Amino acid sequence: MRSRLVAGVLATGAAAGIVANVIITSRIAASHGVPLPVTEWVYLVVALLLPALGWLLATRRPELRYGWLLLVSALILGLGLTGTGLSIVGGAPVWLASPLFAVSAVFPGLNWIFLPLLFPEGRLPSRRWRAFAWISGIAIAVHTAGLLLSGDAVRQPMRVTESPLALFAVLSAAAGQLITWIMAAIGFCGLVLRWRRSARVERRQYAWMVGGVAVSLLGGVAPAFYTSLPMLSLLGMVAMAGALPVAIGVTMVRHRLFDIGIGIRGSRLHLIFDMRPTADEVLSDLGTALEDTPEPAEQLGKVTAAVRTALEASWAAVTLADGTRVVAGREEGQATLTVPVPGGLGRIECGPRSVGMLTRVDRRLLEALAVPAGLAIQSAGLVTRLVNAQEAERRRIERNIHDGVQQQLVALIAGLELARSTGASPDMLAHLREQARQTLADLRELAAGIHPSVLSQGGLVEAVEERCSRLPVRTTVISDPGLRTRRFADEVEGAMYFTVNEAVANALKHASAAAVEVRLSHAGGRLRAVVADDGKGFDPGATARRGLATLSDRLNALGGGLDLDTSPGKGTRVNAWVPVDG
């Protein structure tokens, strides 16, 4: 709302100054008994294009600096024209007419130097142009200050010698104007080079700007050569003031500059603004699409397609840290815009736009899309790790059955066959009975590793106590009051049980612990299990987390997490939690 108000004030001030100049000119013409030339009306219409165009861009695309630059240039034009008219008519206060007349020196600099230089994003093409911009700005300031200090001397050369200050001011104004023209010529050459080096799509936009600047420069120097032909001088002023806004307007309509084009509503033509969706709209649509796409691999494809559509790029790609690449569109040429995915998970790249150039707004949109891309990459990695963990667990169970229980059953069957054929002695039968009991115990132990029956029947606390009661070291299990009778979802209880089981097993196998403490608690909507031992500890940065990494993925899939606190010689503390209702 504030940007619209400021844009309206600037555009109104610029238009008022331009109209005031025409009114003053018409009064002068009327005093001489001649009608106002048609070219003055043409000049009025053409000059008003600049504030109209600036207001259009500043209100519709306030994030772009270029619209505001056009408005400032239009305001300078209006003030300068008003000052010129007042100076010609005379009778106006010096404190008003002189500053307004001096401001007229700023417009050529903006029109010839900064509007082409900052085209189309409102920023310098590169750091190498900083010195050029500074020199140009100083030259324009010197020209303006010289006009302001010289007063009437600049318009009455015979009075220059009356005052050393006037002489200095006039020389300063002349020097500033000369340097401004030189810098305008250099800037025009740079614009031509940018046009020649630009991509095919951008070249058409730059071509109109090159033509507009050329016409404006020719119009600016015309009055110096055709002072005896007022009509040609006026046409030169029309070209100077109107060439650039016309060129920019045509580029917007024909080549979608600033994402503005021509559309048809019913039977009438109208301008279409912001043809690409905003960042909020893109993220909202993408969020809905990701909710409807549970598979993480497909989610990456959705993100990539959303990037390509939102930026209207010829292609887009999401590259993971491991080199995996998901591409939307036909990848041709180098990427024109690349942003990293937060967390070092990869990067998002996109090729050139089908129409126009990628801007800072596009970069901000791409950075916003990098967030859901990171979530999709994390989901894909989590699912991959869980699938791999499940496959590894299946193979472990298969190997244990093949190498353990299966061999025991084969030996038991062979012993029974031998007993049947030879007549079993009491000692043989006792041996076979003990062998069968051992096989049964091994089967129960194997089943407990998959999902212990005590967990299904008695709950988490009872299952943890049963598991710790068989440990060869002193183990203490502490639980919150009431937690023993609480039941949670099967996946929650299973994840917490196996986390405790793995932590305890690591304490025995790797830490050489003499005592283990297991604490189960439920508070703040979280079910928490803490396993602490007095073992030798380890360096977590140099040692793999063993089976805890898989369990951490399992907890993450439930919305929880796992923290590891350990260091050499100080024991290990495993803190696992999952969110639960109540």
Q: Domain 457-579 is of which CATH architecture?
A: 2-Layer Sandwich (3.30)
Collapsing DSSP to helix, strand or coil, 338 comes out as strand
Closest CA to 242 of 19, 9, 7, 49: 49
Sole residue written with tokens 């030169």: 236
Q: Which residues of 368-395 are buried (b: 16+ CB within 10 A; e: fewer)?
A: bbbebbbbbbebbbbbebeeebeeeeee
Sole residue written with tokens 């639960």: 580
> With contact defined as beta carbons under 8 Å apart, do 127 and 71 qualify?
no
What pTM value is reported for the model? 0.53
Alpha-carbon span 522 to 458, nearest angstrom = 17
Report domain extents, the chain: 1-87, 105-197, 204-271, 279-380, 387-447, 457-579
> With contact defined as beta carbons under 8 Å apart, do 78 and 51 qualify?
yes
Alpha-carbon span 480 to 538, nearest angstrom = 30
> With contact defined as beta carbons under 8 Å apart, do 511 and 536 qualify?
yes
Closest CA to 397 of 349, 448, 344, 470: 448
Q: pLDDT truncated to tens, each residue of the chain (582 aa)?
A: 677 888 889 989 888 888 888 787 777 767 766 677 777 788 888 889 889 888 888 887 777 788 888 999 989 988 888 877 777 666 666 667 778 878 888 988 998 999 999 887 778 888 889 999 999 999 999 998 888 887 654 455 545 555 677 778 778 888 998 999 999 999 999 999 988 887 666 787 788 889 999 988 888 876 666 555 666 677 777 888 888 888 888 887 776 666 665 554 555 555 555 555 555 566 666 666 656 665 656 777 777 787 787 777 888 888 877 677 788 888 877 787 888 877 767 788 888 876 666 666 677 777 777 777 776 666 665 555 555 566 566 666 666 565 555 655 666 676 777 777 777 677 777 777 777 766 666 666 555 556 667 777 888 998 888 878 877 788 899 999 889 888 888 888 888 888 888 888 888 878 888 899 999 999 888 999 999 999 888 877 665 555 567 677 778 777 888 988 888 888 899 999 999 876
Collapsing DSSP to helix, strand or coil, 117 comes out as helix
Overall size of the chain counted in residues: 582
Phi, psi of 579 (to 5 degrees): -75, 140
Q: Does domain 279-380 have CATH number 3.90.1300.10?
A: no
Collapsing DSSP to helix, strand or coil, 480 comes out as coil
Alpha-carbon span 524 to 284, nearest angstrom = 31
SS (HEC) of 260-291:
CEEEEECCEEEEECCCCCCHHHHHHHHHHHHH
479's enclosing H/E stretch is: strand 474-479
Phi, psi of 262 (to 5 degrees): -105, 130
DSSP letter at 399? H
Distance of CA 20 to the CA centre of its chain: 46
Q: Supply 245's token pair.
A: 């806004």
Phi, psi of 340 (to 5 degrees): -80, 150
How many C-beta atoms lie closer than 10 Å to residue 314's C-beta? 18
DSSP letter at 37? P
Closest CA to 566 of 536, 546, 522: 536
Closest CA to 451 of 511, 377, 501, 520: 501
User: With 0-12 CB in 10 A as exposed, 13-18 as middle and 19+ as buried, what is 484?
Assistant: middle
User: With 0-12 CB in 10 A as exposed, 13-18 as middle and 19+ as buried, what is 282?
Assistant: buried
DSSP letter at 331? -
Collapsing DSSP to helix, strand or coil, 490 comes out as helix
